[in-house]
Structure 1
Amino acid sequence: MIPVHLQLSGFLSYQDPVDLDFTTFDLACISGSNGAGKSSLLDAMTWALFGQARRRDDALINSHAQAAEVILDFQYENNLYRIQRTKPREKTTLLEFFTCTEDHIWRPLTEKSVRDTEARISSILRMDYETFTNASFLLQGRADQFAQQRPGDRKRVLSAILGLEIWEQYRMDAVERRTTIEADMKSLDGQLEEIDAELAQETERKQRMQADKKRKEK
């Protein structure tokens, strides 16, 4: 996931609108005093992508604003996407998801609910918030987050980062196909047994008919 453009307003430290174009630089160092909003830029991206940040709900809204809004454009696998997430004070969160067509038109990908839209975003990115924060950047004060996780959780995160979950999907598909083939073979075996039984009955019937014919000829 490559960030392209970030717009935010009323979000944490940022009361006024801020526009950040990532295409104007290759490497950047964000510096400033405590509370200046350095981490808020990263929070804005994770909140837009996954609906998660260091704070939740109305705590994300700047004290002088009525709503927090983040618009993130990002590129993934040669496709350009846009996420617009808005949290009005004391109201539910709004989430819109778009992809940019070859004609430079934003085509909606938004699902019927916020949860379904978030699931679609995670499906496209093939990672969730936990994987993203372990793979892309370290949360402030939680540099040892990955090391402190249980072995099973570390394995799951690494699998997601390396894209190994696709092989698990292949395994599940193979198991399902094997189960279907075994069921078909069992059905065919049953049909063959029925045919063998019918042939055996036919042989016995012919033998009885021949025996009856011989008795009549005598």
Structure 2
Amino acid sequence: MIPVKLALKNFLSYGEDVPPLDFTQFHIACLSGNNGQGKSALLDALTWAVWGEGRKSSQEKKADNSLLRIGQKDMQVEFIFDLEGDRYRIIRSFSLVKKSSRPTLEFQVFNQEKNEYISLTAPSIRKTQEKIIKTLRIDYQTFINSAFILQGRIDEFSRKSPRERKEILSEILGISRYDELANLAKFHLREVNNTIMTKESRLEYINQEI
């Protein structure tokens, strides 16, 4: 995943009309500044857009509420990235309507022939999220335990149980793919064995008839 653009609206300390962050203008970046100036918010915005998770929202019952800029009713993060020759766009929004909340999630891929984004959005947020994870081939837990270190949680991986660490390493190394191949091989083996048993039974019947 190669970041291209990140645009925020009413996300944490960022209000409206915030200039988008253009990743194509640099190769290496260092975020510096005083506390509370929005450095971590940019990283939270990225993970919230992609996985619906943010460092400051992980302990909240209604996660999105704590990420919404104080005094505002709606927020949105747009994230564009390149992956294996294709360009994708994720737009995640959250709105407060009276006493209820309204989250939305859009997933799109850029069509070069039509010069426009084509929707990959599924009928539900859950299904759309599954599409995003399947496209990236990495979930939130794997991301924050490998390529991304949360502020104040550098020991995130070591705090996991042995089973959880094994699952994360399996995702990072792609071992789960070999598990899928092993299961597929076992399935085909059962099919072959069933075919052999059927033919042997048929052969035995023919021999008895002769």
Q: How many Å separate the matches in 2 of 1:193 and 1:59?
A: 72
Q: CA deviation at 1:165?
A: 1.8
Q: State the match for 2:160 in structure 1.
A: 149
Compute the TM-score of the two structures, normalised by the length of structure 1. 0.87
Q: For this pair of structures, how many residues does the alignment match?
A: 199
Counterpart position of 2:26: 25
Q: Which deviates more, 160-169 or 81-90? A: 160-169
Question: How far has the Cα of 1:190 moved from its partner?
Answer: 1.4
| Counterpart residue identity of residue 105, structure 1 | E
**Alpha-carbon distance in structure 2 between the residues aligned to 1:17 and 1:169:** 47
Out of 60, 70, 92, which is 2:67 matched to?
60
**Structure 1: 4+ residue segments shifted above 4 A:** none
C-alpha contact (below 8 Å) 1:15/1:64 kept by paired residues: no
What does residue 212 of structure 1 align with?
Answer: none
Cα separation, 1, equivalents of 2:8 and 2:30: 19
**Structure-2 residue corresponding to 1:82:** 89
Tell me the residue number matched to 2:198: 187
Q: Percent identity, aligned pairs only? A: 40
Question: Which is greater in Rg?
Answer: 1
Structure 1 gaps of 5+ residues are 200-218
Contact 1:4–1:23 (8 Å) recurs in 2: yes
Give the equivalent residue in structure 2 for 1:47.
Answer: 48
Task: Name the SS for the 1:35 alignment partner.
Answer: coil
Per residue, is there more helix in 1 or in 2? 1
Residues 62-111 of structure 1, C-alpha deviation per residue, up to 9 Å, x if partnerless?
A: 01322110000011111110000000023221000000112232011001
- Aligned Cα root-mean-square deviation (Å): 1.2
Structure-2 residue corresponding to 1:13: 13
TM-score, length of structure 2 as denominator length: 0.91
- The aligned residue for residue 60 of structure 2 is none
Q: CA deviation at 1:31?
A: 1.1
1:203-214 mapped onto 2 (5 Å cutoff) = none
Q: 1:72 and 1:82 mapped to 2: Cα distance? A: 6
Where do 5+ consecutive residues of structure 2 fail to align? 58-62
Residue aligned with 2:101, SS: coil
Q: CA deviation at 1:152?
A: 2.0
Contact 1:10 1:64 survives alignment (8 Å)? no
Q: Distance in 2 between matches of 1:173 and 1:92?
A: 41
2:39 is matched with: 38
Separation of aligned partners in 1, 2:111 and 2:121: 15
Alignment-mate amino acid for residue 155 of structure 2: D
**Deviation sequence 1:38-71 (CA, Å, 0-9, x none):** 1111111111111111211222110132211000
